[in-house]
Amino acid sequence: MARIKLDISRRSFLKGGLATGGLALMSPTASIDSAVGMLSADDPWYREGDIKTTYNVCDVCPWRCGVVVHTVNGIVRKIDGNPADPKSRGMLCARGQGGVSFMYDPDRLQSPMIRTGERGSGQFKEVTWEEALDYVAAALLQVKDKYGEEALAVFGHTSGDHWFADHFAQAWGTPNAAKPSSSLCLSPRDEAATLTYGSAVGGHEPVDWDSIQAFTLIGSHIGEDARNTLMQDFANAQARGAKVIVVDPRFSSVAAKADYWLPIKPGTDTALMLAWMNVLITESLYDAAYVEEWTEGLEELAAHVAEFTPDWAAGITDLPAAQIRETALVMAENMPAAAVIPGRHVTWYGNDSQRMRSTYLVNALLGTYGREGGMYFNKSVYLDHYPLPPYTVTGSSGGCSAEPGEESAELPLGPTGKARADGVRESFMRGPTAMQELIDPMISGDPYPIRALVAYGVNLLNSIPNPERTIEALKALDFVVAIDVLPQEHIAWADVVLPEATYLERYEDLWTVPHKTPYIAMREPAADPLYDTKPGWWISRELGMRVGLEDFYKWETIEEWIDKRLVSVGSSLDDMRAQGGVIVQKGKPYLEDFDGASPFHTASGKINLYSEELAEAGHDPMPVYEPTDEPPTGYFRLLYGRSPVHTFAKTQNTPVLNDIDPENEIWVNVDAAEQLGVKDGDYVMLENQDGARSGPVQVKATQRIRSDAVFMVHGFGHNSPGLTRANGKGASDTKLQTRYKLDPISGGAGMRVNFVRLDKEGV
């Protein structure tokens, strides 16, 4: 019987790393030791043999920079940014560099496993792929026979998720496929954009960084949010003299570089933006010609915002009225090369689609969309899909990144005519399935039972709020299969674990990125898969073949799939390699590229300042400020964000990244800390409004945060013994998020509605 905790200590792992030589003949573990040892020493690996260069797309975060990978004697040694790639432009962030360490993490899942102990015990036996896949197929077919196709939920994230949450789920016939990157991240942003100007923001936010003159960041904490391209763009724009306005309750890294820092009271951003609209309209500062030609509803908007003066907003936001007006003027002076940047993680307070709509309305008044220096139009890539029979279920599970393939806005219905089980579709018209809303039907069977779960590359107990409820669901399900690379917490709750090869060890479908210059990027393996791991496309196909979906898997190899798609652009895998791993196409970024036709895909072809669609569905047609609950006495609002060297909850165990940032801190205003008798560097426990408690976490007492909120980096506080470096370090924000507030328009889960108190007891 194997336990998921692997018997390789960090000590022996590093010690083994000093041994070199004979690499090609070594066992996988020995090669890992050697590779990491070499990375930490000054050994000239590049003189050891011929360097093999392969093209890949970084998978350490969903931004997906194009990379060039260098391999010597079968060992991956170095990753560089691909200079031909429009996202990386030859550079990488620290996490991207950490990819080698992620691959050679000795804590990785190594072999298919079937559960032997109780769910949650982490007791498994290692089995062959044949055994594991036969077992999964039989269990899924049993659930289908008993309850129907829709009784299977498929959750997916990371770059191979489309093989499961899109392709497998739609071929199988379940509408209950979901991605955390949608309802726990950006669904309000895209829903609001579609309602306002007719298309989603898209994976690559279309900000015309090359010539922008003034920009506002609402929360978006560039620098801690360490997306490579964004950091380059920000630095270049600032060096050019662009004005920077940062709205954040916390003096974030980017606030430190801003011309204006607006330390707003959390949850009041809509009031600020209504006041900006008031200033732009009442002082006639908006782009009148643009608004006349490209928008509808100015009269209604002017009447709506007339009472929302800077003085009114000052009382709500805690910001000086003069500063509110002054920042509106800065944007107006620079329009149309000015924009409020759409953030990315926008599921905050449960009214997030309306907040996002208010940012788009400010932009519309500034004449931003389709103008140089504002927001350009992302163009989709021209590339054929692989020819497949029609799916029985259509629709999207949503995505945070530029996913391969396109998403459908059709209402997804199961073959038995059953709608999605998340209830969100009934509350509005579009929007991908809300992952957090599929947990209840797993427990209650209402509106109908969900009995099985395929979890591909999704961190069930670290990404979905209220993990206790998720555990209840995992206990209640008939069958759970987890496809992952690491022994994350949810792995212990699976019946079958299928270990995937990492992105450096596998081919992937082509990456098609809507962009100013749309482009296609490729992924090919830089080394053979370690241990007994397999690529996701292979796992999806093997499962599909076993459950009667042969028609959807008529291809034998992924190379065949890729080559077939590339025919439509006159290329091939070999040709793409020869071209440097990227094919760049021509975009249509500005209004003048449309020859007078409207680029806005709304019914009227204009930007909806007033939304008929929302009014008809019973929602406010124009954004209204809604107060969010105040922290109870003695509690702080819990805010969270990113560390520049970690991604979500998946890299805390990665050796080189763990070395740099091993645990998170809780930021507390220094005066509030003093009142509580807590000092910088003390350890405290956190307890939320429902009694959920964190592990010990170190206090960062600082002037850099308001006194009504505390802040921590997401992703720490692991409690899986298999994650030998991350286990027990820091605190988990997810555990303290026992509540969320549903955005009625998009189904997004606002998670900043939890409050914590600091407790010195029990540390």
Residues within the interface to ligand SF4 (CB under 6 A): 58, 60-61, 63-65, 92-93, 95-96, 227-228
Residue 58 binds which entry of ligand MGD, ligand SF4, none, with Cβ cut-offs from 5 to 8 Å by kind?
Answer: ligand SF4
Judged by phi (left if over 0) then psi (alpha if -120 to 50, else beta), residue 267 lies in: left
Residue pair 541/388 in contact (Cβ under 8 Å)? The answer is: no
Q: Which position among 96, 180, 599, 623 is part of the footprint of ligand MGD (CB under 6 A)?
A: 180
* Nearest-approach distance from CB 295 to ligand MGD, in angstroms: 25
CB closer to ligand SF4, 96 vs 525: 96
Q: Which position among 345, 379, 541, 718 is part of the footprint of ligand MGD (CB under 6 A)?
A: 345
CB closer to ligand MGD, 115 vs 646: 646
Strands 2-3 and 123-126, by their bridges, are antiparallel
Residue 228 binds which entry of ligand SF4, ligand MGD, none, with Cβ cut-offs from 5 to 8 Å by kind?
Answer: ligand SF4
Percent helix, strand, coil in the chain (nearest 5)? Answer: 35, 15, 50
225 lines the binding site for ligand MGD (CB under 6 A): yes
Q: Which position among 31, 187, 459, 688 is part of the footprint of ligand MGD (CB under 6 A)?
A: 459
Q: Which long-range contacts (CB under 8 A, 24 or more apart) does 674-677 make?
A: 674/701, 676/758, 677/760
CB closer to ligand MGD, 389 vs 662: 662
Cβ–Cβ contacts within 10 Å for residue 296, how many? Answer: 20
* Interface with ligand MGD in residues 627-666 (CB under 6 A): 639-644, 646-650
Any bridge partners for residue 515, and if so which? 379
User: What sections of 220-294 are H helices per DSSP?
Assistant: 228-239, 269-282, 288-294
CA distance 640 to 112: 35
343 lines the binding site for ligand MGD (CB under 6 A): yes
523 lines the binding site for ligand MGD (CB under 6 A): no
Query: For ligand MGD, what does the binding mask look like between residues 693 and 732, x meaning CB under 6 A?
Result: ------------------x--x------------------
CA distance 158 to 395: 19
Residue 96 binds which entry of ligand SF4, ligand MGD, none, with Cβ cut-offs from 5 to 8 Å by kind?
Answer: ligand SF4
Residue pair 394/412 in contact (Cβ under 8 Å)? The answer is: yes
Sign of CA dihedral 154, 158, 164, 165: positive
Structure tokens of 417? Answer: 């005519």
Buried-exposed string 300-339: b where 16+ CB fall within 10 A, e elsewhere: ebeebbeebbbebbbebbbbebebbbebbebbbebbbbbb
CA distance 155 to 176: 8
Structure tokens of 367? Answer: 């004449």
Number of residues lying near ligand MGD (CB under 6 A): 64
Q: Which long-range contacts (CB under 8 A, 24 or more apart) does 594-603 make?
A: 594/370, 598/294, 599/370, 599/377, 600/197, 600/198, 600/199, 600/294, 600/369, 601/197, 601/198, 601/199, 602/196, 602/197, 602/198
Burial of residue 125, with CB atoms counted within 10 A of its CB: 0-12 exposed, 13-18 middle, 19 or more buried: middle
457 lines the binding site for ligand MGD (CB under 6 A): yes
Residue 462 binds which entry of ligand SF4, ligand MGD, none, with Cβ cut-offs from 5 to 8 Å by kind?
Answer: ligand MGD
218 lines the binding site for ligand MGD (CB under 6 A): yes
CA distance 657 to 531: 23
CB closer to ligand MGD, 296 vs 489: 489
Please choose, out of 249-257, 319-327, 568-576, 606-614, the segment that lies near ligand MGD by the rule CB under 6 A.
Answer: 249-257
Query: For ligand MGD, what does the binding mask look like between residues 537 and 576, x meaning CB under 6 A?
Result: ----------------------------------------
Residue 232 binds which entry of ligand MGD, ligand SF4, none, with Cβ cut-offs from 5 to 8 Å by kind?
Answer: none
* Interface with ligand MGD in residues 347-406 (CB under 6 A): 348, 400
Any bridge partners for residue 519, and if so which? 513, 584
440 lines the binding site for ligand MGD (CB under 6 A): no
88 lines the binding site for ligand MGD (CB under 6 A): no
- Beta strands in 538-591, from DSSP E residues, in sequence order: 582-584
* Nearest-approach distance from CB 653 to ligand SF4, in angstroms: 16
CA distance 55 to 196: 38
* Nearest-approach distance from CB 92 to ligand SF4, in angstroms: 4
* Nearest-approach distance from CB 65 to ligand SF4, in angstroms: 3
* Nearest-approach distance from CB 94 to ligand SF4, in angstroms: 8
- Which of these, 329, 331, 365, 375, lies nearest to 214 by C-alpha position? 331
Residue 180 binds which entry of ligand SF4, ligand MGD, none, with Cβ cut-offs from 5 to 8 Å by kind?
Answer: ligand MGD
Binding residues for ligand MGD, rule: CB under 6 A, are 59, 61-62, 157-158, 160, 180-181, 184-185, 218-221, 225-227, 247-250, 252, 264, 266-267, 269, 343-345, 348, 400, 456-459, 462-463, 483-486, 488, 500, 502-503, 536, 639-644, 646-650, 711, 714, 733-734, 737, 751-752
